[in-house]
């Protein structure tokens, strides 16, 4: 099983451009990190029981991520306009990414750049989890 779910979500109705799930989780974080994490946890029982190929040989879960978290990566340069944009992970922890309460300096008026930085941070959470 290969996990690479990804998406960037923005909203015109929210001042910061954030879009939320019905459960209150910021959608870019929900799809790029939470969905992959949850599916992996749910699949672990099958992997442990060797049910992957029907012959008792098990299976693998392969998690792919992105270079979007790296502010030095060339294609990310347009989203890094201020020094604060290089902050990869907030001191407050992962919860502020999930509930959308953490916004780095200068994200207002920069909806797509801010959304791309959120995407990169969610993918970084996946790298750290792996």
Show which residues are catalytic: 119, 123
SS3 helix, strand, coil % of the chain, rounded to 5? 40, 5, 55
Going from the C-alpha of 31 to that of each of 59, 105, 121, the distances in angstroms are 23, 24, 12
Going from the C-alpha of 104 to that of each of 10, 44, 119, the distances in angstroms are 16, 35, 14
């Amino acid at each position: 099983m290969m996990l690479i779910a990804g998406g960037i979500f923005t909203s015109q109705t929210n001042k910061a451009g954030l879009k939320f799930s019905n459960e209150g989780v910021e959608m870019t974080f929900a799809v790029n990190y939470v969905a992959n994490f949850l599916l992996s946890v749910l699949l672990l029982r099958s992997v442990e029981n060797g049910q992957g190929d029907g012959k008792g040989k098990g299976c693998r879960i392969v998690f792919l991520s992105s270079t979007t978290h790296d502010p030095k990566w060339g294609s990310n340069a347009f989203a890094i306009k201020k020094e604060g944009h290089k902050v990869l992970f907030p001191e407050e922890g992962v919860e502020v990414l999930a509930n959308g309460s953490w916004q780095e300096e200068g994200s207002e008026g920069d909806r797509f750049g801010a959304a791309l930085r959120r995407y990169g941070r969610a993918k970084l959470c996946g790298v750290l989890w792996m």
